[in-house]
Amino acid sequence: MKMVLLGRGKTGVLVADVARHRGHEVRVLGAADNPAAKALTKQLLSDVEVAIDFTAPDAVLGNIRRCVETRTPLVVGTTGWYFEIPAIREMVEKADASLLYAANFSIGVNLFFDIVRSAAPALRYGYSGHITEKHHVHKKDAPSGTAVAIRNVIKDAAGHEPEIASVREGDIVGTHILSLDSPADTITLIHEAKSRRGFAEGAVRAAEWLPGHKGFFDFKDVFREM
Protein backbone atom coordinates (compact mmCIF):
# COMPACT_ATOMS: atom_id res chain seq x y z
CA MET A 1 0.00 0.00 0.00
CA LYS A 2 1.02 3.62 -0.50
CA MET A 3 0.92 5.48 2.80
CA VAL A 4 1.69 9.00 3.93
CA LEU A 5 2.79 9.35 7.54
CA LEU A 6 2.28 12.70 9.23
CA GLY A 7 4.75 13.27 12.07
CA ARG A 8 8.43 12.53 12.66
CA GLY A 9 8.24 12.01 16.43
CA LYS A 10 9.42 8.91 18.28
CA THR A 11 6.24 6.95 17.57
CA GLY A 12 6.02 8.21 13.99
CA VAL A 13 9.51 6.93 13.23
CA LEU A 14 8.53 3.50 14.51
CA VAL A 15 5.28 3.53 12.50
CA ALA A 16 7.27 4.18 9.32
CA ASP A 17 9.70 1.39 10.20
CA VAL A 18 6.93 -1.13 10.90
CA ALA A 19 5.01 -0.17 7.75
CA ARG A 20 8.07 -0.59 5.53
CA HIS A 21 8.89 -3.88 7.20
CA ARG A 22 5.37 -5.05 6.30
CA GLY A 23 5.98 -4.15 2.65
CA HIS A 24 4.30 -0.76 2.39
CA GLU A 25 5.57 2.33 0.57
CA VAL A 26 5.73 5.21 3.06
CA ARG A 27 6.22 8.93 2.57
CA VAL A 28 6.87 10.88 5.77
CA LEU A 29 5.94 14.54 6.31
CA GLY A 30 7.18 16.31 9.42
CA ALA A 31 5.89 19.57 10.88
CA ALA A 32 8.17 21.66 8.68
CA ASP A 33 6.97 19.82 5.56
CA ASN A 34 3.27 20.30 6.29
CA PRO A 35 2.54 23.62 8.05
CA ALA A 36 -1.19 24.09 8.66
CA ALA A 37 -1.88 20.98 6.51
CA LYS A 38 -0.86 22.91 3.37
CA ALA A 39 1.12 20.00 1.93
CA LEU A 40 -1.96 17.77 1.86
CA THR A 41 -3.07 18.75 -1.61
CA LYS A 42 -5.28 16.69 -3.88
CA GLN A 43 -2.24 16.06 -6.06
CA LEU A 44 -0.11 14.74 -3.21
CA LEU A 45 -2.92 12.55 -1.90
CA SER A 46 -4.17 11.36 -5.29
CA ASP A 47 -2.41 7.99 -5.14
CA VAL A 48 -2.22 7.65 -1.35
CA GLU A 49 -4.26 4.70 -0.10
CA VAL A 50 -4.17 5.68 3.58
CA ALA A 51 -2.69 8.40 5.79
CA ILE A 52 -1.52 8.02 9.39
CA ASP A 53 -1.32 10.96 11.80
CA PHE A 54 1.06 11.02 14.76
CA THR A 55 1.52 14.79 15.01
CA ALA A 56 0.36 17.12 17.80
CA PRO A 57 -2.98 18.46 19.09
CA ASP A 58 -2.44 21.81 17.35
CA ALA A 59 -1.86 20.15 13.95
CA VAL A 60 -4.14 17.13 13.83
CA LEU A 61 -7.47 18.86 13.16
CA GLY A 62 -6.16 20.54 10.02
CA ASN A 63 -4.83 17.21 8.78
CA ILE A 64 -8.14 15.52 9.51
CA ARG A 65 -10.09 18.14 7.56
CA ARG A 66 -7.82 17.87 4.51
CA CYS A 67 -8.01 14.08 4.45
CA VAL A 68 -11.80 14.14 4.83
CA GLU A 69 -12.10 16.70 2.02
CA THR A 70 -10.03 14.50 -0.30
CA ARG A 71 -11.63 11.31 1.07
CA THR A 72 -8.24 9.90 1.97
CA PRO A 73 -8.64 7.18 4.63
CA LEU A 74 -6.96 8.45 7.80
CA VAL A 75 -5.72 6.69 10.94
CA VAL A 76 -5.24 9.11 13.85
CA GLY A 77 -2.93 8.27 16.74
CA THR A 78 -2.65 11.85 17.97
CA THR A 79 -4.67 12.69 21.09
CA GLY A 80 -5.76 15.99 22.63
CA TRP A 81 -8.54 16.71 20.10
CA TYR A 82 -11.36 14.53 21.43
CA PHE A 83 -13.56 17.51 22.37
CA GLU A 84 -14.11 17.80 18.59
CA ILE A 85 -15.20 14.18 18.09
CA PRO A 86 -18.94 14.90 17.55
CA ALA A 87 -18.20 17.52 14.88
CA ILE A 88 -15.51 15.40 13.19
CA ARG A 89 -17.75 12.33 13.21
CA GLU A 90 -20.49 14.32 11.48
CA MET A 91 -18.04 15.69 8.92
CA VAL A 92 -16.65 12.23 8.12
CA GLU A 93 -20.09 10.69 7.74
CA LYS A 94 -21.42 13.53 5.54
CA ALA A 95 -18.37 13.23 3.26
CA ASP A 96 -18.66 9.42 3.10
CA ALA A 97 -15.03 9.38 4.21
CA SER A 98 -13.01 7.02 6.41
CA LEU A 99 -11.37 7.81 9.75
CA LEU A 100 -10.14 5.50 12.49
CA TYR A 101 -8.76 6.91 15.73
CA ALA A 102 -7.48 5.51 18.99
CA ALA A 103 -6.29 6.78 22.31
CA ASN A 104 -3.89 3.85 22.14
CA PHE A 105 -3.23 1.32 19.35
CA SER A 106 -1.54 -1.23 21.60
CA ILE A 107 -3.27 -4.62 21.58
CA GLY A 108 -2.36 -4.96 25.26
CA VAL A 109 -4.05 -1.69 26.16
CA ASN A 110 -7.18 -2.64 24.27
CA LEU A 111 -7.29 -5.94 26.18
CA PHE A 112 -6.75 -3.85 29.34
CA PHE A 113 -9.91 -1.91 28.45
CA ASP A 114 -11.80 -5.22 28.50
CA ILE A 115 -10.37 -6.07 31.93
CA VAL A 116 -11.34 -2.63 33.23
CA ARG A 117 -14.86 -3.11 31.87
CA SER A 118 -15.15 -6.36 33.82
CA ALA A 119 -13.87 -4.77 37.04
CA ALA A 120 -15.89 -1.54 36.83
CA PRO A 121 -19.04 -2.92 38.56
CA ALA A 122 -17.02 -2.88 41.80
CA LEU A 123 -17.94 0.82 41.95
CA ARG A 124 -21.54 -0.23 42.56
CA TYR A 125 -20.51 -2.22 45.64
CA GLY A 126 -18.84 0.38 47.81
CA TYR A 127 -15.50 0.70 46.01
CA SER A 128 -14.05 4.05 44.97
CA GLY A 129 -12.00 4.37 41.80
CA HIS A 130 -8.93 6.36 40.85
CA ILE A 131 -6.84 6.45 37.67
CA THR A 132 -3.18 7.44 37.53
CA GLU A 133 -1.37 7.89 34.23
CA LYS A 134 2.38 8.43 33.86
CA HIS A 135 4.18 9.63 30.73
CA HIS A 136 7.41 11.24 29.58
CA VAL A 137 8.02 14.93 30.20
CA HIS A 138 7.47 15.83 26.54
CA LYS A 139 3.85 14.64 26.35
CA LYS A 140 1.74 17.72 25.74
CA ASP A 141 -1.79 16.64 26.66
CA ALA A 142 -2.95 15.72 30.16
CA PRO A 143 -4.73 13.60 31.08
CA SER A 144 -3.64 11.13 28.43
CA GLY A 145 -6.12 9.98 25.83
CA THR A 146 -5.76 6.44 27.16
CA ALA A 147 -6.65 7.53 30.70
CA VAL A 148 -9.74 9.31 29.38
CA ALA A 149 -10.66 6.17 27.44
CA ILE A 150 -10.33 4.11 30.63
CA ARG A 151 -12.59 6.57 32.45
CA ASN A 152 -15.13 6.34 29.63
CA VAL A 153 -15.10 2.54 29.78
CA ILE A 154 -15.84 2.75 33.51
CA LYS A 155 -18.57 5.33 32.98
CA ASP A 156 -20.27 3.13 30.37
CA ALA A 157 -19.99 0.01 32.52
CA ALA A 158 -20.77 1.42 35.98
CA GLY A 159 -22.03 4.98 35.66
CA HIS A 160 -19.07 6.47 37.56
CA GLU A 161 -16.27 8.79 36.38
CA PRO A 162 -13.11 8.30 38.46
CA GLU A 163 -10.66 11.16 38.90
CA ILE A 164 -7.44 11.07 36.89
CA ALA A 165 -4.01 12.06 38.18
CA SER A 166 -1.32 12.83 35.59
CA VAL A 167 2.42 12.46 36.15
CA ARG A 168 5.07 13.70 33.71
CA GLU A 169 8.61 12.55 34.42
CA GLY A 170 11.65 11.14 32.64
CA ASP A 171 11.13 9.10 29.51
CA ILE A 172 8.18 6.96 30.67
CA VAL A 173 6.55 5.40 27.61
CA GLY A 174 3.16 5.05 29.27
CA THR A 175 1.80 3.58 32.50
CA HIS A 176 -1.88 3.46 33.45
CA ILE A 177 -3.10 2.38 36.87
CA LEU A 178 -6.68 1.82 37.99
CA SER A 179 -7.17 1.51 41.76
CA LEU A 180 -10.46 0.25 43.17
CA ASP A 181 -10.47 0.72 46.93
CA SER A 182 -12.87 -0.38 49.66
CA PRO A 183 -12.62 -0.58 53.47
CA ALA A 184 -11.97 -4.32 53.06
CA ASP A 185 -9.48 -4.48 50.20
CA THR A 186 -7.90 -2.82 47.16
CA ILE A 187 -7.89 -3.99 43.55
CA THR A 188 -5.08 -2.58 41.40
CA LEU A 189 -4.91 -2.98 37.62
CA ILE A 190 -1.78 -1.80 35.80
CA HIS A 191 -0.72 -1.58 32.18
CA GLU A 192 2.89 -0.55 31.58
CA ALA A 193 4.20 -0.07 28.05
CA LYS A 194 7.80 -1.22 27.59
CA SER A 195 8.27 0.51 24.24
CA ARG A 196 6.34 2.43 21.59
CA ARG A 197 6.55 -0.43 19.11
CA GLY A 198 3.22 -1.88 20.24
CA PHE A 199 1.54 1.44 19.38
CA ALA A 200 3.22 1.46 15.97
CA GLU A 201 2.27 -2.11 15.07
CA GLY A 202 -1.36 -1.51 16.00
CA ALA A 203 -1.49 1.71 13.97
CA VAL A 204 -0.13 -0.01 10.86
CA ARG A 205 -2.61 -2.86 11.21
CA ALA A 206 -5.37 -0.27 11.49
CA ALA A 207 -4.07 1.42 8.33
CA GLU A 208 -4.15 -1.90 6.50
CA TRP A 209 -7.76 -2.47 7.59
CA LEU A 210 -9.27 0.98 6.98
CA PRO A 211 -9.35 1.30 3.15
CA GLY A 212 -12.65 -0.11 1.95
CA HIS A 213 -14.43 0.76 5.20
CA LYS A 214 -16.47 3.96 5.24
CA GLY A 215 -17.28 5.79 8.44
CA PHE A 216 -15.88 6.93 11.77
CA PHE A 217 -14.22 4.16 13.79
CA ASP A 218 -12.62 3.71 17.20
CA PHE A 219 -9.82 1.11 17.23
CA LYS A 220 -11.08 -0.48 20.45
CA ASP A 221 -14.33 -1.38 18.65
CA VAL A 222 -12.69 -3.08 15.65
CA PHE A 223 -9.25 -4.33 16.75
CA ARG A 224 -10.42 -7.93 17.19
CA GLU A 225 -11.67 -7.95 13.58
CA MET A 226 -8.19 -6.98 12.40
Q: Active-site positions?
A: 135, 139
Task: Report which of 5, 6, 10 is spatially closest to residue 135, judged by C-alpha positions.
Answer: 10
CA dist., res. 28 & res. 3, Å (int): 9
Distance from C-alpha of 202 to C-alpha of 195, rounded to nearest angstrom: 13
Residues 6+ apart with CB under 8 A from 1: 24, 25, 49, 50, 207, 208, 211
- Burial-class residue 154 by CB neighbours within 10 Å (0-12, 13-18, 19+): buried
Distance CA 110, CA 204 (A): 15
